[in-house]
Amino acid sequence: MKQQPPMYWLACGQHIPLDGRALIMGILNVTPDSFSDGGTYFDHQKAVDHLFSMIQDGAEIIDIGGESTRPGAMPVDEEEEIKRVKPILQAVGHRCPVPISIDTRKASVARMALDLGAIIVNDISGLRDDVHMARVVAESGAGVVLMHRQGKSETMQQSPEYVDVVGEVRSFLAHSLDVAVENGISLDQIVVDPGIGFGKSVSHNLQLISHCSEFLELGQPVMVGVSNKAFIGKIIDKPIEKRMSGTAAAVAIAIFQGVHIIRVHDVGAMRDVREIAGSLRDHTCNI
């Protein structure tokens, strides 16, 4: 399934350009327990204010989530997840100046969000956790992120094992692409994500980040999310609130290898990283 990555991401009839610098997806967690900003934006007005603040700082996509998927997190039922994200979408969904993504594994939550103005579904299960998700994406024409995850959030970090982590993740994503197409989802709707931190050790994460370019061989745009994650804290021995410099290094490496989207918390700082890493990459390619 090899082809040149599309120069756009098709999402509910909109064409999101992907032929220039890497896009910044700003993270908005409307949860009490997310690993990096849990509880910070649980208040709906604070969440809306932060959304527009990220856009002002340079976010080109906003990813809204109502269920924590951090290691050890327990699942949230669909009623609670909808209760958390629906007011934000009602407030900004159809008037947001940038595309909105809904970070969910549940078809009912995705359908609600798409009805209220979201145009992308970011599914960390790669369409596996809800048998109805593929149909929702296909029928709506939404953009979709297919991510790799080993195990479930509750247990995924207990003992992740791979023989060849890069090869196995790439094979998983290739299979996910086949399943998506079989269910009526067009390839130009799909972005793939190797799932940094989702069922991976520090070594696994480092291998995936240092080989990001290999995922481009799938012929699809690639998104990477490394922001403030535990492997960074383990390497530099810093708590979550002091991992921005480590995040910047990982983001720069990913961008230098050609990823199309970076998913981050600290939008303003990572915008600067994007500009430098992208300029260095483009200069190197032109030598």
Higher pLDDT among residues 72 and 273, named by residue: 273
Give the pLDDT mean for 207-211.
Answer: 96
Quick: pLDDT tens for 166-206. Answer: 999 999 999 999 999 999 999 999 999 999 999 999 999 99
Neighbours of 227 (CB within 10 A): 28
Structure tokens at 40: 């910070």
Segment holding 25, helix H or strand E: strand 23-29
Contacts of 241 (CB under 8 A, 6+ apart): none
* CA-CA-CA-CA torsion sign (200, 203, 207, 212): positive
Least reliable range by pLDDT among 4-13, 46-55, 61-70, 237-246: 4-13
Place of tokens 């910044």: 24
Per-residue pLDDT, 194: 97
Segment holding 29, helix H or strand E: strand 23-29
Give the pLDDT mean for 49-72.
Answer: 91
Nearest residue to 229 via CA among 27, 43, 15, 9: 27
Per-residue pLDDT, 23: 98
Higher pLDDT among residues 71 and 95, named by residue: 95
Contacts of 171 (CB under 8 A, 6+ apart): none
d(CA 21, CA 103): 23
Higher pLDDT among residues 64 and 74, named by residue: 64
Q: Taking the mean position of all CA atoms in its chain, how far away is CA 228?
A: 14
Structure tokens at 80: 């609670």
Quick: pLDDT tens for 134-156. Answer: 999 999 999 999 999 986 666 65
d(CA 76, CA 132): 18
- Phi and psi at 38, nearest 5°, equal -55, 125
Per-residue pLDDT, 139: 98
Which CATH number is 14-223's, of 1.10.357.10, 3.90.1300.10, 1.10.10.10, 3.20.20.20? 3.20.20.20
Per-residue pLDDT, 176: 94
Per-residue pLDDT, 161: 87
Contacts of 147 (CB under 8 A, 6+ apart): 122, 123, 124, 125, 126, 192, 193, 194, 195, 198
Place of tokens 């990283």: 273
Per-residue pLDDT, 283: 79
Quick: pLDDT tens for 82-134. Answer: 999 999 999 998 999 999 999 999 999 999 999 999 999 999 999 999 999 99
Give the pLDDT mean for 256-261.
Answer: 95
Structure tokens at 73: 């997190």
Domain ranges of the chain: 14-223
Quick: pLDDT tens for 1-43. Answer: 344 555 799 999 999 999 888 999 999 999 875 444 444 555 7
> Which positions are annotated as active-site residues?
229, 263
d(CA 230, CA 105): 22
